[in-house]
Amino acid sequence: MRLFYDLLPIIVFFIAYKFYNIYVATATAMVAAIVQIGTSLFRGQRPDMMQLVTLAMVVILGGATLLFRNELFIKWKPTVVYWVLGCIFLGSQLLSEKTLVQKMLDKSLSLPPKAWTKLNISWFSFFFFMGVLNLVIVYSFDTDTWVNFKLFGTLGLTVIFVVVQGVLVSRYLPEGNQEKNTP
C-alpha cells in the first residue's frame, strides 16, 4: 500500500496525460503531491525526504510549466529530483560520519563501513544516471514516450536497482541472517 501511496502523483499524472494533455496532467500531479503531503501531516506522519523534494520540484517546475505553457519544465522535474537526491547522498558521504544509507538502514542491517560507503555511492550513481537518462528521453523522444518512461521505465529500473542492491548487501551478511536481514 505504501508503494501505491508513494506512486500516486505519478499514476495520476499518467492517467491525466492519457485522457487530456501535459498541462492538465501537470496540474493534477501538483494537486496530488500537495494532497499526499497534507494527508501525511493530517495523520501525524512526517513526510520523508523524497516526498518533500518531489513536492517542491513538482510545485516549482509544474508551476513554471503552466505559467509559461512550456512542457520542458515538468520534463526536467525528474532530473532535478534525482540530482538533488544524489547530492544529498554524496553530501552525506563527504560531510557526515554516517552515510545516508547507513542512517536509514543501520537499525535493520549490520554492515562494515566499506559496504555502507559502496552502497551510498551506488545510490548516488543511480540517481545521477537516472537524471541523465531522463534528459536523454526528454530530448530524443516525443512526450508520449517520455510519459511512459516516467512511469514504467523509471519504476522498472528502480526495482532492478533495488534487487541488485539487495543481492550485493546479502554478501556482507552472516550465512544464517541473509533471509532475515535482506531488505
Predicted confidence (pLDDT) at residue 181 exceeds the cutoff of 90: no
pTM to 2 decimals? 0.87
Mean pLDDT of the chain: 91
pLDDT at position 171, please?
Answer: 87
Domain ranges of the chain: 2-181
What torsion, rounded to 10 degrees, do the Cα atoms 166, 168, 174, 178 define? 30
C-alpha cell at 3: 508503494
Identify the band that residue 182 occupies on the pLDDT scale cut at 50, 70 and 90: very low
Instruction: Please tell me the predicted confidence (pLDDT) of residue 70.
Output: 98
* Nearest CA among 108, 107, 161 for reference residue 133: 161
* pLDDT given for residue 174 in this prediction: 75
Task: Place 173 in a pLDDT band, splitting at 50, 70 and 90.
Answer: confident
Flag the least confident range among 49-63, 116-130, 164-178. Answer: 164-178
- Is residue 28 very low, low, confident or very high in pLDDT (cuts 50, 70, 90)? very high
Between residues 63 and 50, the one the model is more confident about: 63
55: Cβ contacts below 8 Å, ≥ 6 apart: 33, 34, 36, 37, 47
pLDDT above 90 covers what percent of the chain?
A: 72
